[in-house]
Each structure stands twice: as structure tokens, then as C-alpha cells.
Amino acid sequence: MTDTLFVYVDGNDLEECYARVTPQLRALAAEWQLKDCRFVDDRYPTTPDLEAGDLPDWNLGVNLPLAALGPIEAERLVELCHTLALERVMNFEVGTRHFQA
């Protein structure tokens, strides 16, 4: 079981920002590959319970095991989110999840 930090771009309508943020998120995940950081691009299917005009969930960001999160990693994540938020006028969701191995 792994406690994991997630940092995802907020929202479901991410088409406009996708091409701009994806390279930076992928680069961070690649740089932290040994820390088991994972790039996440999960677009969920449209389901019958969605209202007209609603978009399905879309998780776009990175997952990092909490055990790998130290002050340096935390600062780097905050800086990246801050930079992307200022450049692209977007917000981020940050939280933790408990995944079963």
C-alpha cells in the first residue's frame, strides 16, 4: 500500500492547456523517475449520468509517493504549479491518496 501525493490540473476542460503543460509535467516525472514519480493523463469516458454539456473527469498531472516527498521536492512542485498557473491561468488540485499495491 502506498500513500501518494497527487498534483493535477484543476478541471475537466483541459484541451486548451494540454499541449502547454504536458511537456513540463512529463519532464518532472522523468526527472523524478527514480523517486517513482508518475505522469498521469487519465481521461475518463463519458457516462450516461453526465448532464448535457458536462465533461467527464480528466486527471492530468503527477503522482509521487509521500515517502519520496521532501522539502526540495515540495518546493519544486509549488514552483512548477505557480509558474504554470501564472502563465496559463489555471489552478491545481493537490491531495493524497492511499493506493493498494
User: Tens digit of pLDDT for each residue in 5-50?
Assistant: 999 998 888 888 899 899 999 999 999 999 999 999 998 877 778 7
**One-letter identity of residue 75:** E
- pLDDT for 79 beyond 80: yes
CATH topology of domain 2-44+56-99: Alpha-Beta Plaits (3.30.70)
pLDDT > 70: percent of the chain? 95
pTM of the model as a whole? 0.86
Q: Rounded CA gap, 56 and 13, in Å?
A: 9
Nearest to 12 by CA among 49, 55, 47, 50: 55
